[in-house]
A and B are shown apart, each in its own frame.
Chain A
């Protein structure tokens, strides 16, 4: 009975190791490297993503795959570290969510940028042709109606000026240029009713593209400014710092519990040795008379 009691007590003491052991688990320096490595990748991806947007803006990218593919990779990287973040500190979830929101905002702005850039590229590519077509129609009308010749010659000259000013918008980031262009176009629009029908139709097409370029240039500036304000990088860094802090805290706790577990295990071993020593000691025989 007494032996059974000793066994139960000892088993209970051994069971005390379990919670200590549990506390020492789950903190692996390799995990820290994995998470911080993924965040580093995300940071590099984000930087390259911005470069790709600028390449698309300037027409160096011939297609939008380079500004589209990072979306999926960024979310995959974040998904990959998500379980580890939650395991260290529930508060990291909030920071992860903030980063996710920033990424979604960035994707949204980039989606709008792609649409805007495609419209702009199309019109910029077409405007010289539209100008040539308008000038040809004006020349034909001038030849056919001598009374209109002077007006048509002026229109052709103005069309050339509009073309130059429109193309300048592509190179100069200047709000005044856009304003001046709109003024010039405004004067042409006022006379639109006087143009012969074929010229008026050609003028409408020309005008449509000039307005598109002017509007889309403004939109481009707004979008790029908006993109610059999306705090993806700041949130990656914030998450990285918070994770490192949480990891260090968890690691310190892990070290503490490891020491405690070793100490406790040593105590149990000593106790076991003591008990074994006692149980193996021969009982003293009464001395013979």
Chain B
């Protein structure tokens, strides 16, 4: 009798735990941030794309590869305020991370490339970046019999610019970085601690989540930089890069409009903003509160938000 009672209590406890687990998972399914999904990609193309991503022959003087500015092991960017191209030319804008770039709805800060494939061709042709062109690149790559063979094996028309772009884009799509926060969203409630949970709640309450949401925690919309305060007036000297999407559309409504960056791995991608003006995450949060949210917050709340943001760092070391 006693044994039956014990078994009954045990079963009830298991049921209660299961119910609690289900409830928690259901609750998290309604969050503004969604867990990362693993893309289904051709492993051979990923491997070829990885090789092309690290291939310096894409640049005119064979000095730079995509990885020179987008160091995979360092958050997918270069850690500089502005990108540096061939012959040490300093570019006009901060390098965005390549990690999780497959989730971005457009590419570049001003969204001028619709796809990663389009984006891959941009730096190759930019005189301030790789300073080359496809004819030159193909001239060099065609001398590499092994590489030509690899392209022929994967693409019916072999080594072509569009296939190089496709391979690089496929590799970039593979750069997804599941984090502790993804595990939390998937129902593992202990994946983040109390402070981090509180930070997430503040991130939502203060309205950061209005733009930084979805699977990419951003990257799926444009927004004006300086919604509730004039960032560029306070900054002073306005550069062409500061004009944002206006440089693409020439529409006045797009002046100072930028793609909202993903906050995944934000801990690793300082300095922040298109102008690399915020050197730390705390500084970046201050700017966001002032110009985007139009409000202030106690330092303790900002510190908790930073703690939450750090849970978005990928758990697996990327190479």
For the complex, is A114 an interface residue (Cβ under 8 Å from B)? yes
Q: Find chain A residues with CB under 8 A from B296 CB.
A: 205
Shortest B274–chain A CB gap in Å is 16
A125 to B32, CA, bound (A): 15
Shortest A172–chain B CB gap in Å is 22
The one of B31, B221, B228, B294 in contact with A114, judged by C-beta atoms closer than 8 angstroms, is B221
Q: For chain A, residues 203 to 237, give those with C-beta under 8 angstroms from any C-beta of chain B.
A: 205, 208-209, 212
Shortest B288–chain A CB gap in Å is 11
- The segment from B65-73, B206-214, B304-312 that touches chain A is B206-214
Structural contact, A112 and B253, CB atoms closer than 8 A: yes
A123 to B257, CA, bound (A): 19
For the complex, is A185 an interface residue (Cβ under 8 Å from B)? no
Structural contact, A64 and B220, CB atoms closer than 8 A: yes
A247 to B30, CA, bound (A): 46
Q: Find chain A residues with CB under 8 A from B47 CB.
A: none
A183-210 interface code vs B (CB 8 A; 1 in, 0 out): 0000000000000000000000100110
Q: Please, which residue of chain B has its CB at the minimum distance from the CB of A113? A: B221
Shortest B307–chain A CB gap in Å is 22
Do A121 and B207 contact each other (CB < 8 Å), given the known contacts A64-B214, A115-B223? yes
Shortest A10–chain B CB gap in Å is 39
Structural contact, A122 and B293, CB atoms closer than 8 A: yes
Q: Find chain B residues with CB under 8 A from A208 CB.
A: 228, 294
For the complex, is A130 an interface residue (Cβ under 8 Å from B)? yes
Q: Find chain B residues with CB under 8 A from A72 CB.
A: 105
For the complex, is B224 an interface residue (Cβ under 8 Å from A)? yes
Structural contact, A125 and B207, CB atoms closer than 8 A: yes
Q: Find chain A residues with CB under 8 A from B253 CB.
A: 112
Shortest B170–chain A CB gap in Å is 15
For the complex, is A65 an interface residue (Cβ under 8 Å from B)? yes
Chain B interface helix/strand/loop/mixed: loop
Shortest A289–chain B CB gap in Å is 78
A59-80 interface code vs B (CB 8 A; 1 in, 0 out): 0001111001001100100000
Shortest B260–chain A CB gap in Å is 8
Interface range on chain B: under 10, 10 to 19, 20 to 34, or 35 or more?
20 to 34
Q: Find chain A residues with CB under 8 A from B132 CB.
A: none
Structural contact, A205 and B294, CB atoms closer than 8 A: yes
B187-219 interface code vs A (CB 8 A; 1 in, 0 out): 000000000000000000101001101110000
Do A65 and B215 contact each other (CB < 8 Å), given the known contacts A119-B210, A126-B295, A212-B294? yes
For the complex, is B263 an interface residue (Cβ under 8 Å from A)? no
For the complex, is B181 an interface residue (Cβ under 8 Å from A)? no
A115 to B34, CA, bound (A): 19
Interface range on chain A: under 10, 10 to 19, 20 to 34, or 35 or more?
20 to 34
For the complex, is A136 an interface residue (Cβ under 8 Å from B)? no
Q: Find chain B residues with CB under 8 A from A125 CB.
A: 205, 207, 210
For the complex, is A111 an interface residue (Cβ under 8 Å from B)? yes
Structural contact, A122 and B207, CB atoms closer than 8 A: yes
Q: Find chain B residues with CB under 8 A from A126 CB.
A: 207, 293-295
Q: Find chain B residues with CB under 8 A from A63 CB.
A: 32-34, 213-214, 220
For the complex, is A118 an interface residue (Cβ under 8 Å from B)? yes
Q: Please, which residue of chain B has its CB at the minimum distance from the CB of A104? A: B114
A258 to B220, CA, bound (A): 52
A212 to B33, CA, bound (A): 25
Structural contact, B207 and A65, CB atoms closer than 8 A: no
For the complex, is B25 an interface residue (Cβ under 8 Å from A)? no
Structural contact, B294 and A121, CB atoms closer than 8 A: no
Do A68 and B221 contact each other (CB < 8 Å), given the known contacts A63-B213, A205-B294, A212-B294? yes
Shortest B130–chain A CB gap in Å is 27
Shortest B6–chain A CB gap in Å is 44
Q: Find chain A residues with CB under 8 A from B32 CB.
A: 62-63
Q: Please, which residue of chain A has its CB at the minimum distance from the CB of B249? A: A108
A209 to B211, CA, bound (A): 17
Q: Find chain A residues with CB under 8 A from B293 CB.
A: 122, 126
Q: For chain A, residues 102 to 142, give those with C-beta under 8 angstroms from any C-beta of chain B.
A: 111-112, 114-115, 118-119, 121-123, 125-126, 130
A221 to B221, CA, bound (A): 19
List the 3 closest pairs (A to B, CB-CB), nearest first. Answer: A63-B213, A122-B207, A62-B32
List 8 A-B residue pairs with CB atoms under 8 Å apart, sorted by A's residue number. A63-B33, A63-B214, A68-B221, A71-B105, A118-B210, A126-B294, A130-B295, A205-B296
Residues on B close to A: CB < 8 A?
30-34, 105, 114, 205, 207, 210-211, 213-215, 220-224, 227-228, 253, 257, 292-296
